Amino acid sequence: MEHGIDLEYSIKHFEKEIRYVNELLQHMKLEHAIGRKLVKKRSNYEKSISILKGNKESDYDSELPLTSLRANLYQLNQQVEVIPEAQVIIDQINYVTKLLKDGKS
């Protein structure tokens, strides 16, 4: 699927989050409740990347990935007056937010 906006920022953001989750999982038992939640979290980030690449996903909860992006959006909105270039990333995040909400099955 071809998008009218660059999705690279969001894809890189989700890949970074997946790396963080994987690092945590190295020190945790998957049988533990937190370990299971982390696996689900990682799965939702992976599905977010898949949706951004044009695929449809089932059993997908967009709330966690969207919350993660919104945190970045909040920080960028605080900086846009000082760093006008941040507006490009803000526009990308707004687009991805809508895309992920629509891609949810």
Reported confidence tier of residue 105, pLDDT bands at 50, 70, 90: very low
Q: Tell me the C-alpha distance between 88 and 95, whole Å.
A: 11
Q: CB–CB of 44/61 below 8 Å?
A: yes
**In this predicted model, what pLDDT tens digit does every residue of 71-90 receive, in sequence order?**
888 889 888 888 888 899 99
pLDDT confidence of 4, banded at 50, 70, 90?
low
CA–CA distance, 38 with 20 (Å, rounded to integer): 10
Are 39 and 25 in contact by the 8 Å Cβ rule? The answer is yes
102 token code pair: 């629509």
Contact 93, 72 (CB under 8 A): yes
- Three-class secondary structure of residue 31 per DSSP: coil
- Mean pLDDT along residues 82-104: 86
Q: Which amino acid is at 88?
A: V
